[in-house]
Structure 1
């Protein structure tokens, strides 16, 4: 009986001590303070590409008790995006996850953000001469090279091709340059016959491909560094009645439908969810540099110790065989069902 009482007494004392022990357990530093908010800022806010990026940016934020907001402008206008960036700065954000439409116009605004103590991480497009802390993207050069390999393989390494461009947007310029360089260096029997600026406008892409196809009846392929132009390019190829290999980077529901229907050959798609999730982590860490003490001269030079020049979020080649895995509405519905 005495032994049982001793056991009960010990158990009771342990139970009483438990809350005190738990209270003394230090809270993980990987959490947000109330109201700590991170913004994702983009150009052309209606583009479907941003949706899975923000979905995972927001999930990472919620997992750490932070708030996440999406901002941007519906117009393809760098000045309007700059205005939305300044509006975000006025809201005292903890950090900004930025897709800059053009690199250099954001140098000054990003510098102002740094002076205000607001770190900026760029994604999918960069402002390399700015004071952004990190840049996350799928490797644009690798995207262009894989797109070239895919087109050349479809044509057995021989044929004539054209390129549609969006001059001035950093990531698109890198993709286009890498595509052409790869063709020239690895596929000498692939001939570039025309380049045209479609500027993410399906109507301009449609007219450009019609014109190029009429001037070059033996046109075999067209590459463009983004998804919107692919819609017009594929329609023009269809009306020309030619079996032209249409290849883009990025996707949307219409592009996926065309790939499945055989109206487009394939598309390169950055792993958007990973871009958003890891993008939030980079932005959050940039806002909490006190957690990082690397063995370098950051203290004497006064730069953010979280500075990571480049992170590759990966990519996928989308074909008719795997296109169903890339529809935003299916992905969104599956995630909503998993959360219920």
Structure 2
């Protein structure tokens, strides 16, 4: 009897052990299967899109804000932004960086147009290698770029001209500081001229370049006023110009010169709040960077793009500062 009980006990133990062993192997098989599926999903998932953004000038506040907007959009879309640019404005360095970027084979490139036939060829080279190129801030319309994203620069120039004509009731002679010879600056000057030339009593006396430099703007404004002391208004077309113009006006000993600028740097806001700068046409570089990245996402998904994509500008003056913003 005791042997029979022992036999039944042994059989039960073997059955239990067998059941446990089967469950163990079944569980192990399922885990292995799950790991294999996860590894397959990981290797088969599309890698993050790699986008290069080439600035006109690496640490220029306008371009840093555009980088920030592009980064934020890229994070939401699972993309990666590599930001680069010349230490100081240098079109030839922009071209070299574009050539190096093409060799690195990113998924897309964002660049500023510089109006150069060789640059057009480089953009074409990128396109031939399957790398879409979008222009930002300034267009390169003769190239094979996919689209332009940025300010309607001619319209922005008109906007500044209308502001000057409206505010400067005494009329007068005007000096202009452009940032550079880039296409965006040329278009702003064209738009500004079109308004001023049609306004009785207003005349553009002198046009000079700051080379995208606050010091350059100060030096050119001072020299301009010494040569043309009757100038009553000076406008600047790049972000650092207005602050530099104020310094140049002070150095020239001219306290009754009205100053207008572009963009809303902290120094420009301070100048407006203190009455040294009358107003500024405000671009939205962060929106430009973000919009360019979202457009690339659409293109990667097979959607067609049209061009141009204009990001609106607004006016920042004393009234809007008191209202707590820049009319954005």
- TM-score, structure 2 length as denominator? 0.79
Once the two structures are superposed, what CA deviation does each residue of 1:139-187 show, in whole Å capped at 9, x if it has no partner? Answer: 11111011011111121161111112345200011001110111112x1
Q: 1:232 aligns with which of 211, 221, 244?
A: 244
d(CA) in 2 for partners of 1:230, 1:35: 40
* 1:41 shift after superposition: 1.2
1:318 matched to 2:316 = yes
Q: Secondary structure at the match of 2:140?
A: coil
d(CA) in 2 for partners of 1:131, 1:146: 30
Bigger Rg, which one = 2
Once the two structures are superposed, the pairs formed by residues 2-81 of structure 1 within 5 Å of their partners are 33-81=46-94
* 1:325 shift after superposition: 4.3
Is the contact made by 1:37 and 1:68 (CA closer than 8 Å) also made in structure 2?
Answer: yes
Which of 127-136 and 225-234 deviates more? 225-234
d(CA) in 1 for partners of 2:325, 2:112: 25
2:11 aligned partner: none
1:149 matched to 2:174 = no
d(CA) in 1 for partners of 2:314, 2:127: 34
Cα distance 1:202–1:59, how it changes in 2: closer, same or farther (>3 A)? closer
d(CA) in 1 for partners of 2:143, 2:305: 12
1:18 aligned partner: none
Once the two structures are superposed, the pairs formed by residues 163-312 of structure 1 within 5 Å of their partners are 163-185=176-198, 187-239=199-251, 240-288=253-301, 291-292=302-303, 306-312=304-310
d(CA) in 1 for partners of 2:144, 2:203: 40
Residue segments in structure 2 that go unaligned for 5+ positions in a row? 1-44
Cα distance 1:71–1:325, how it changes in 2: closer, same or farther (>3 A)? farther
* 1:321 shift after superposition: 4.0
1:137 aligned partner: 150
Q: Secondary structure at the match of 1:90?
A: helix
Which of 227-236 and 176-185 deviates more? 227-236
Is the contact made by 1:163 and 1:196 (CA closer than 8 Å) also made in structure 2?
Answer: yes
2:110 aligned partner: 97
Is the contact made by 2:62 and 2:239 (CA closer than 8 Å) also made in structure 1?
Answer: no
Cα distance 1:201–1:60, how it changes in 2: closer, same or farther (>3 A)? closer
d(CA) in 2 for partners of 1:80, 1:230: 26
Cα distance 1:137–1:177, how it changes in 2: closer, same or farther (>3 A)? same
- TM-score, structure 1 length as denominator? 0.76
Q: Which has the higher contact order (CA 8 A, sep 6+)?
A: 1
1:123 aligned partner: 136
* 1:242 shift after superposition: 2.1
d(CA) in 1 for partners of 2:65, 2:244: 24
Is the contact made by 2:179 and 2:213 (CA closer than 8 Å) also made in structure 1?
Answer: no
Kindly tell me the number of residue pairs found equivalent between the two proteins: 279
* 1:80 shift after superposition: 1.1
Once the two structures are superposed, the pairs formed by residues 322-333 of structure 1 within 5 Å of their partners are 322-323=320-321, 325=325
d(CA) in 2 for partners of 1:105, 1:168: 17
Cα distance 1:115–1:157, how it changes in 2: closer, same or farther (>3 A)? farther
